[in-house]
Structure 1
């Protein structure tokens, strides 16, 4: 098989002034030829002359600026030459990744090395074939020149051209019919033959035994019928090996990654049977490993694994939700089932990364690493695998595996899948509950430590607060005592001032000091006693006698008060009688001419003495009356007793 690989050295396909110059590398039956520099025109000549099996590029943008130019370029290729884009079709990847899949390294900045690498990986089966035409070919036989205006020989000239077209059309029809191809023919008759004959052959262009050509009078154009949209078909029929993760249940999650960890398939559905799952995986590739995210593989996952004869993988312990989130962080998914399936596939791939790196170090260039890794994982020695693959042709498409389904019991299969999903969810729920329980135990222990620390701190704070409270109480008590002492000090100062004032008055010979009593009650007497004091020989002044009592008068008389000056009008007769009984002089203020200033006052000593003398005269008269009343009472008592005795003595 001959393969051409090209890469642009300079210029651009979009430029009209600087047309591209390509590096052209040849690989034929595994032998690497020289790499040369060619122009676009020179490339077309070499393709037409050598008719390689494959023209390999790493990007279609290097040969055509748009779809129209791509169709035109493909029309110029020899029928047997296929255009291959080695970096993929709808979803492309870098040439470095494709080359790494075959353990090939190259200088990415050298277009000659890129052209050679492109040819090598295409020869090994990498890439996709660009399909731009239907399986229908149009063959048009027409005049190569126009009859135009002529002279006397015009009719003979036109008859000659049309006869040549008719003859060429019959020749083309004979070749198509001889190849056993079906076709439709539409001819346009003209003077002396055909002016045009069109054939629509129901076969691809490479199967039509006619080529585009031209002569003096006739031209033949062979073109494929263009597709509405360009298709890409894998060059190799071998399906790619996959690591599949499954999450069974009422909603089934399916995920598949290739051996490099790239996401290939991620889907979920509530209506997928086991045969539908097998069909979906078959379209994506060939499952090499079937993985589950729980330690014990569910029965339905095991059945799907057996359908592909895949290698089972289960983690040492069921994956936690946090581990699933960490594994699937770079990817997007729509529900938890897709997340669980994807985490199972990625966990299986992660467990094999070290083995894959060791295999890549031991494998030389030019081997399909996916196939090598797949065979090694299935237990074949690496040397045996390399010997088998050396010079091995590209494998044809493998037969589709049939699922180990039980068509007579589809309902039970679905029930098994649902029960597997339920068991998985319950185990996951139990695991979450156990994790929650451990977390709660840790939280309880942490809270207990916090309580112990808080209790110790509280006890210290309580002791400190109690000490502070005791000290605060002592301070408050001392403050209260201080306030009391200050009040007492102020009272004593006032008392001292009044006493000094009274003392000054006492020193005077012509004035007698008066101590003011607020009212004639025991409370007022007690207040005056605490204020400036009451001692024997004092003269008291009371502005009003409301609320007086016998006991107050007797108490004042008992203290040895010299006299009591009454400020309001005439005193109450009862008060006068009690005062005379207690021998307490009761003097009206008008009679003594009292001069009151605040809590003290003064009166002339002479007037006080005269008033007291006058009271004493009245007191003597009061005593005589009292004595007379007592004698009269005694006489009456004696008389009454004698009368009683006389009556008794009869």
Structure 2
């Protein structure tokens, strides 16, 4: 098994796979564990021979169009590659980037005009996990054993000749089948019987080409062909499934707005929704990448945004003071947002990126080449020093590739006297031609200089006119901005006023309700007891009752029907210290499971008939004497329930002891 990662990196020097006259020549760079070990210029034919001879782990290119002109040629190329060699396009898959941008993520610089320098860079970024593997075949392989020659026309020995060929095909088919069985691979076999054996044996194996235990073969009578099963469409699979880091801005509320930027400030996602919950937002952000910073547009981060931040263990960001509408408009102007929620979330993300931008630019000058800049930035944002981040990456094995110096150029051979004279004459002719070109360029330069002076004068005239227009419009713009700011403040105060009015109305209703209950308690304190009404047997209804009239320890609670009850709702009533729960309908069809739960949690469950509960003007009153009697009856039943529980517990312990004792007697005789 190979211990080192071997990479062949190529970049085209001249020619093209689409040209019939100028076949392509490639700059080939070999890398082992990220270190350059050899460089050479090769043709496509020699490249394929080297690939089949040395069988590297990765063949890295910046564009697969340099190797194949169309999809048909790409399938053919991948078919002849060694099974263990992966074709990797370092600039990405369906959505490609430039090589400079990919190398920039690892702080690697190169000469774009040098094919060998580009090939070195391709190999280095491939060794660091950049790019996507080209997948053209399914996880299935077809093996065909067939005749390698035709039986021909008749003759005295034709039958013996045909038997020999068909017998060889049959023997090879059996050998292939034995090899597949020994390897434990599933397959389907189709055999075409013929005189003396078989003319064709085909196997469809449920495994990729690199797991097939046989290889292609061409003999005098028999040939063995191995081919992968083509996909309908070529797909790309990233070498590393690591998601990109994101800076996320969130605007909470009835309509949630969210925006995400990568660490280069590029907009990745911008959306808003009324139906989206926090869990849906977390799922959506996970699909987009890995949130590193969660940002808000207000000084105090809202609780809902804080929950999202904790879900990702991300770094929180809040501005020193709430972002004004003018700042939000200025930040979000270059981007197409649809509403205020998207604008606010986008401005929060952009403000956070602006806070870290200078630090990112400083890291570009300090990070050595070959380290993943996103990982370094993420570590620094989390509070680590640059040395700690680089040390951690080195400890995890993310050691940068050390570019080896290119081999020294070959010294040109010495020329003979005649060849030297011809070369000098050729150079003189070239110098004369270049002198003429220089004279023409100088005349053209003078013309361009005159035209440039005229353009400069026109620019100065337009600048003077623009400054005058700006002075006039500036005052109007400042006035409009002040009006917009005041309007925004008015709208904010109106929203706050409406909220306070709603709160005031709610509190007034609660006070009136409490006064009404207090009056009834004073009037009916001797014979009747007020009971608080629970609208439904749900946790939301319990919270509404608690927030409305309040529930104190010792209160009685009335409910019309117990449909949809739950154990957690019963536990909430017990935690509030409720004295008892009165059910409106006094029929005998009480849910036995509800009775069992109330017994377990010690919550008295009474009926309206037992307590004499009646409704007066939206308030339920129960007879004090009947309530006391019903509670006494419940407590008596509760004592009996406790005794039964203790009895069942003791019987269970006794039965378990007797069983264990019996087993012990059987073991020891």
Tell whether the structures are fold-level matches, with TM greater than 0.5.
Answer: yes
Partner of 1:99: 103
Structure 1 counterpart of 2:223, from 197, 211, 219: 219
Deviation at 1:394, TM superposition (A): 6.4
Matched, 1:85 2:135: no
TM-score by length of 2: 0.58
Gap change, CA 1:125 and 1:192, over 3 Å in 2 = same
Judge conservation of contact 1:247–1:338 (CA < 8 Å) in 2.
yes
Partner of 1:535: none
Gap change, CA 1:194 and 1:373, over 3 Å in 2 = same
Gap change, CA 1:151 and 1:9, over 3 Å in 2 = same
Deviation at 1:327, TM superposition (A): 2.6
Matched, 1:182 2:186: yes
Partner of 1:588: none
Partner of 2:10: 6
Gap change, CA 1:63 and 1:257, over 3 Å in 2 = same
Partner of 2:348: 344
| Distance across 2 between alignment mates of 1:136 and 1:170 | 20
Q: After superposition, give the CA deviation of every residue in 1:118-142 in whole Å (9 maximum; x if it has no partner).
A: 0000000011111111112112221
Partner of 2:595: none
Partner of 1:445: none
Matched, 1:373 2:423: no
Alignment RMSD, CA only? 2.2
TM-score by length of 1: 0.60
| Distance across 2 between alignment mates of 1:141 and 1:393 | 46
Structure 1 counterpart of 2:175, from 171, 187, 195: 171
Judge conservation of contact 2:259–2:345 (CA < 8 Å) in 1.
yes
Deviation at 1:345, TM superposition (A): 1.8
Deviation at 1:322, TM superposition (A): 3.5
Structure 1 counterpart of 2:486, from 423, 430, 436: 436
SS in 2 for 1:324: helix
SS in 2 for 1:237: coil
Partner of 1:312: 316
| Distance across 2 between alignment mates of 1:263 and 1:177 | 53
Judge conservation of contact 1:21–1:37 (CA < 8 Å) in 2.
yes
Partner of 1:136: 140
Partner of 2:62: 58
| Distance across 2 between alignment mates of 1:336 and 1:437 | 15
What is the number of equivalent residue pairs in this alignment?
A: 405
Deviation at 1:149, TM superposition (A): 1.4
Partner of 1:493: none
Structure 2 counterpart of 1:208, from 212, 228, 253: 212
Deviation at 1:334, TM superposition (A): 3.6
Deviation at 1:391, TM superposition (A): 6.9
Matched, 1:191 2:241: no
| Distance across 2 between alignment mates of 1:158 and 1:225 | 31
Partner of 1:239: 243
Q: After superposition, give the CA deviation of every residue in 1:567-624 in whole Å (9 maximum; x if it has no partner).
A: xxxxxxxxxxxxxxxxxxxxxxxxxxxxxxxxxxxxxxxxxxxxxxxxxxxxxxxxxx
1:224-623 equivalences under 5 Å are: 224-390=228-394, 392-393=396-397, 435-436=485-486
SS in 2 for 1:195: strand
Judge conservation of contact 2:371–2:398 (CA < 8 Å) in 1.
no
| Distance across 1 between alignment mates of 2:161 and 2:64 | 47
Judge conservation of contact 2:300–2:318 (CA < 8 Å) in 1.
yes
Judge conservation of contact 1:376–1:382 (CA < 8 Å) in 2.
yes
Gap change, CA 1:159 and 1:124, over 3 Å in 2 = same
1:62-77 equivalences under 5 Å are: 62-77=66-81
| Distance across 1 between alignment mates of 2:92 and 2:325 | 35
Judge conservation of contact 1:137–1:222 (CA < 8 Å) in 2.
yes
Judge conservation of contact 2:325–2:485 (CA < 8 Å) in 1.
no
| Distance across 2 between alignment mates of 1:34 and 1:11 | 23
Deviation at 1:61, TM superposition (A): 1.2
Judge conservation of contact 2:245–2:263 (CA < 8 Å) in 1.
yes
| Distance across 2 between alignment mates of 1:71 and 1:330 | 43
**Which 5+ residue runs of structure 1 have no aligned equivalent?**
396-430, 441-650
Deviation at 1:437, TM superposition (A): 5.7
| Distance across 2 between alignment mates of 1:184 and 1:242 | 48
Deviation at 1:257, TM superposition (A): 1.7
Gap change, CA 1:21 and 1:171, over 3 Å in 2 = same
Structure of higher CA gyration radius? 1
Matched, 1:123 2:127: yes
Deviation at 1:432, TM superposition (A): 10
Q: After superposition, give the CA deviation of every residue in 1:88-121 in whole Å (9 maximum; x if it has no partner).
A: 1122111111101101000011111001100000
| Distance across 1 between alignment mates of 2:293 and 2:319 | 13
Deviation at 1:167, TM superposition (A): 1.3
Q: After superposition, give the CA deviation of every residue in 1:158-198 in whole Å (9 maximum; x if it has no partner).
A: 11111111111111112222222211111111111121111
| Distance across 2 between alignment mates of 1:432 and 1:317 | 19
Deviation at 1:370, TM superposition (A): 0.7
Gap change, CA 1:208 and 1:325, over 3 Å in 2 = farther
Partner of 1:38: 42
SS in 1 for 2:294: strand
Deviation at 1:48, TM superposition (A): 0.7
SS in 1 for 2:144: strand
SS in 1 for 2:321: coil
| Distance across 2 between alignment mates of 1:191 and 1:365 | 67
Gap change, CA 1:222 and 1:264, over 3 Å in 2 = farther
SS in 2 for 1:137: strand
Partner of 1:520: none
Deviation at 1:42, TM superposition (A): 0.6
| Distance across 2 between alignment mates of 1:439 and 1:246 | 22
| Distance across 2 between alignment mates of 1:171 and 1:255 | 61
SS in 1 for 2:287: helix
SS in 2 for 1:390: helix
Deviation at 1:235, TM superposition (A): 0.7
| Distance across 1 between alignment mates of 2:108 and 2:319 | 33
| Distance across 2 between alignment mates of 1:334 and 1:229 | 36
Q: After superposition, give the CA deviation of every residue in 1:330-389 in whole Å (9 maximum; x if it has no partner).
A: 333444333332222222112111111111211111111111111121122211221222
Deviation at 1:207, TM superposition (A): 2.0
